[in-house]
Structure 1
């Protein structure tokens, strides 16, 4: 019973993180380490700034209100 509850909570946690794109940084770090081992891995703050700048520069993203 307890392990089923833990699996359910883990699944919900994974789903929410994917829905909110919270795991994007971990995916980016894994990509950099795998495909570009000599490149520096940005910290979380720099990654979020690069991501926001890229989204704002893309006209397909639309107007960002906040």
Structure 2
């Protein structure tokens, strides 16, 4: 989300189409949610009303999950 130098457009380093439109990544406002501890990380969400990604439903994706992860503490 905005504030992350690695992904200024939220999901990517390159511009993506948002609805309502965004001309500069600084328009993507985010907020920290949750309390960060050694066992848990907080996350960042768009400030409401969140902008939509109207083209995302045209992209196939796969989210593999499993019981074992390097992120388990």
TM range (shorter): under 0.3
Q: Does 1 or 2 have the higher relative contact order (CA < 8 Å, sep 6+)?
A: 2
Output the TM-score relative to the length of structure 1.
0.24
Higher helix share: 1
